[in-house]
A and B are shown apart, each in its own frame.
Chain A
Amino acid sequence: MRCLNCHNVINEEPTLISLFTKNEPLCFTCRTALNFKYPGARCGRCHQLVTEQTDMCRDCRVLYALYPDINKMYTVTDYNEEMKLLMHRYKFVRDYALSEVLALLCTFNFKQYDYVVPVPVSEARLKERTYNQTSAVLEALDVKYMDMLGTKKVKRQSELSRHERLNSTNPFYLLENVSSMNLSGKSVLITDDIYTTGITIHQAANVIKVLNFQNIDVLTFSKAQHI
């Protein structure tokens, strides 16, 4: 078998390590490099590294004031060099196989939610990429998800300044097939690939709350650490 991240042949002779791992297309070296969190104190809400442990960092307070819809936020890894390379290949070189790699890193209990909703990508982006990078990971994980959101965004997130992003009108809208649903008492997990400023996911939550969810949580596969 080959590792889908580095393409090296994975040694199939039983070693001490392989005895404890399943037969999976991710080598030990890549797993260690990708399954990574910086040491240090963190914001209890968005998991940003901070100088002193806090329940809500400055960024969170700004976002929370604007969009107070999210209850808990989770993230799988920190966005280190290795993850950056992976995401680039996954999203821009269209190396779809990496959805399996991300799925292998993602040990998360999705069953506790009634609904799992991926953040959508624009039609133009979908045409280039041919897949939604977040849905593909959920599919690899065998998680049942539901598309509830659409996006009219065309400009790349990276082309907007932080100020523009905060004040940009919300690009998300509810898809027609769900817009008349009442989901009071239900819980939802909104899922996205990378947490950078957090604005995207807060805007998604702000649109979805119209459906009267009792609880809205968030999961991102990787958290960029601005230090």
Chain B
Amino acid sequence: MRGDAVFPAVTFLAALAIIALMLLIVYQMTIVALPSLERFGAGFLTGTTWDAVTEEFGALPAIFGTIVTSLLALLIAVPLSIGAAIFLTELAPSPVGNVVSFLVELLAAIPSVVYGIWGLFVLVPLVRDPLQRVLGDYLGFLPLFQGPRFGVGVLSAGIILAIMILPLVTATTRDIIRMVPSTQKEAMLALGATKWETIWRAVLPYGRSGIVGAIILGLGRALGETMAVTMVIGNAFKISPSLFAPGQTMASQIASEFAEATSDLYISALIEIGLVLLGISLLVNIMARLLVWRATRGVGGRLKT
């Protein structure tokens, strides 16, 4: 019976250690970021210059790039993921569903750098032509699709992010949909709903808070994704309304410049970007986990029994 007392204690310590580690990381990053914090203050978040020579650092373009690429990724990935999750749970015969499910989860296991290489050699040429050619020719009156068609840039980064978050959002949405009680589906079917109406009016609404959670989980992943984005985004520090333009995200900024950062202030500024990224990611992930957790525990449905 002693084991009963020891085991919880050990797990509790392990949990404490994780929290302590987290706090330690934040603390140490703050120490290193201190010079930048003191020098630029809140202006760091709104500054648009990033100049190592004059030691003038502002993070707005990186923040902007992060938001644009992540939103673009969601725009592409969310409809695909929800569609795939519906197919896997409600439409596919179960052997097919299982195989596809497995493949989707396998996608999540591909290392980021492999996505990057693939992006650089396969995706970027395809983005240049036909994608940018078609978008530029037909929708070129929109500022979104103007400028030189390099291939590398915000558009490619958004697409590669979409592919990378697809497995996570699909698998989470699939689990949420599986949690929808069959009594809900049967209630809708019994009223004379088609399969599609049942999904649309009973299954998705019942799971909506969990699905929103799945989407935010994908957002969290997209915000922090580094390697593949660094390889295809073009690493240019500017804010451009065009998706064709090269850009920068917070993560790619750190990854591409850390090795060449020489002065203390330079390093300090990069670390401060890291802190901002950490803060945003934590917030987004906590929100997402709460939503998914609530939904899979059945609280989301709020059914009295």
Genuine A/B complex: no
